[in-house]
């Protein structure tokens, strides 16, 4: 991992971690993962100087890399302890995937845009990641082969919760998904209990649309 992390950005990562801590991120494992992760490798070279600013950036294919604070909040809400099997819907740049690789035992990531998937896979390989498996396909149908999952993260907004994702969530598992209209959504957590699902609204958010069989049908 050390070879992938430029010393020039260590100070920037520490400042970002301090900002996240001041903003309410208290999970030390999440903060450590952020400090160790070279976000500049996951953004276009032309905006590399903004990699450690708390803002979203375009990464091509009509997608964005979310703000570091959004990633950190997602991961803190999941309360991962390192033994979990996690499904990520929307690989995107692969930055969140890298964070997951440090916080869970196994991560499975589905992406519908081949250029993004290939780019993310290459960067994670450079970072020495070995506990992530990728699939090119429709994330709204999940990845039944490796279910059930202790946590499912959806990195795009859906009009409703895709039923296959609920079906693939383990008892006690948590699903995080932005729900709502195309221009504004509510980050929602669903926990699977033995007899039912418990739903909780977290905060208003804005994500790109989740495309697929159980999501939006057009960009």
Active-site amino acid positions: 66
Gap between the Cα atoms of 62 and 83, Å rounded = 33
Structure token pair of residue 151: 């946590």
Give the dihedral sign, CA 160/139/199/203: negative
Is-contact 152 175, C-beta < 8 A?
yes
Are the C-beta atoms of residues 197 and 203 closer than 8 Å to each other? no
Apex CA 19: angle with CA 15 and CA 25, to 5°? Answer: 125
Taking a C-beta distance cutoff of 8 angstroms, is the pair 43, 50 a contact? yes
Contact 191, 170 (CB under 8 A): no
What is the Cβ-side half-sphere exposure of residue 187, based on CA atoms within 13 angstroms? 18
Q: Is 111 helix (H, G, I), strand (E, B) or coil?
A: strand
């Amino acid at each position: 991992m050390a070879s992938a992390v430029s010393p020039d950005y260590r100070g920037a990562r520490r400042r970002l971690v301090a900002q996240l801590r001041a903003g309410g991120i208290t999970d030390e494992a999440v903060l450590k993962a952020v400090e160790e992760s070279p976000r500049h490798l996951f953004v276009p070279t032309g905006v590399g100087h903004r990699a450690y600013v708390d803002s979203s950036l375009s990464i091509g294919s009509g997608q964005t890399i979310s703000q570091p604070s959004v990633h950190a909040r997602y991961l803190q809400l999941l309360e991962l302890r390192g033994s979990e099997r996690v499904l990520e819907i929307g690989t995107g740049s692969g930055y969140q995937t890298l964070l997951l690789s440090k916080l869970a035992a196994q991560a499975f990531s589905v992406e519908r845009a081949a250029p993004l998937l290939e780019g993310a896979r290459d960067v994670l390989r450079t970072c020495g990641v070995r506990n992530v498996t990728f699939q090119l396909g429709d994330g709204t149908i999940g990845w039944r082969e490796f279910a059930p999952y202790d946590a499912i993260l959806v990195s795009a907004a859906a009009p409703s919760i895709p039923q296959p994702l609920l079906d693939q969530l383990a008892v006690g598992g948590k699903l995080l998904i932005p729900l709502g209209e195309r221009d504004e959504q509510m980050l929602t957590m669903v926990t699977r209990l033995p007899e039912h699902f418990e739903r909780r609204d977290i905060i208003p958010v804005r994500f790109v649309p989740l495309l697929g069989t159980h999501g939006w049908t057009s960009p």
